[in-house]
């Protein structure tokens, strides 16, 4: 497998609600199988109902080729994909499995980076908010103290200004 195949498989693994997933279409394309046969393989899997419910989601899309008749496909998790393709064999299948695993791991890494970035932003905002809250709280305490200091200071300033104001003696009757 070359690097181009790796990139194509990365495009086949998407993020759905923060989880790496792929579809039955992607499996059919990557393994060179007919989509209807991949659907058949999924529906014939002998796994528990719980596992199937957690890892295979039956979906429908409009089929433009058949007058909008819904066409079914499956969206699957990495675990569902692995369970399905374990039965696929041959040299080509083994190479595709390896590349798909790389693609799932790459998507998981991307999701982790996004999460870590959001977590870092959250921590930054929380820290900034707490710091500003402290500053404002100190300012509020300072404003409260100021309320009690302001009037006596204003009175003292006014008194000083009156005392510093030159007074001119007025001569009466001149």
pLDDT at 169: 67
0.75 exceeded by the pTM?
Answer: no
pLDDT at 91 over 70: yes
3-state secondary structure of 81: helix
For the chain, the residue count is 174
Residue 33: left (phi > 0), alpha (psi -120 to 50), or beta?
A: beta
Backbone angles phi, psi at 22, to 5 degrees: -140, 180
CA distance 100 to 78: 9
pLDDT at 43: 94
Q: What is the pLDDT of residues 108-123, one digit of tens each?
A: 888 888 777 877 777 7
Q: What is the pLDDT of residues 47-84, one digit of tens each?
A: 999 999 999 999 998 877 767 788 899 999 988 988 88
Domain residue ranges of the chain, discontinuous segments joined by +: 3-111
- Sequence-distant (6+) residues with CB within 8 A of 62 are 68, 69, 70, 71
Q: Tell me the helix, strand and coil percentages in the chain, rounded to 5.
A: 70, 15, 15
């Amino acid at each position: 497998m070359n690097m181009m195949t790796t990139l194509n498989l990365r495009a086949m693994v998407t993020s759905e609600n923060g989880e790496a997933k792929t579809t039955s279409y992607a499996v059919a394309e990557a393994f060179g199988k007919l989509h209807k046969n991949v659907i058949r393989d999924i529906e014939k899997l002998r796994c528990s109902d719980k596992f199937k419910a957690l890892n295979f989601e039956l979906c429908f899309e409009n089929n433009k080729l058949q007058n909008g008749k819904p066409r079914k496909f499956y969206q699957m998790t990495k675990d569902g994909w692995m369970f399905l393709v374990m039965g696929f064999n041959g040299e080509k299948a083994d190479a595709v499995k390896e590349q798909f695993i790389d693609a799932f791991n790459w998507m998981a890494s991307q999701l982790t980076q996004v999460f870590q970035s959001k977590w870092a932003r959250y921590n930054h905002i929380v820290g900034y908010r707490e710091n500003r809250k402290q500053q404002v709280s100190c300012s509020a305490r300072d404003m409260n103290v100021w309320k009690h200091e302001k009037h006596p200071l204003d009175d003292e300033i006014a008194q000083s200004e009156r005392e510093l104001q030159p007074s001119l003696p007025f001569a009466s009757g001149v």
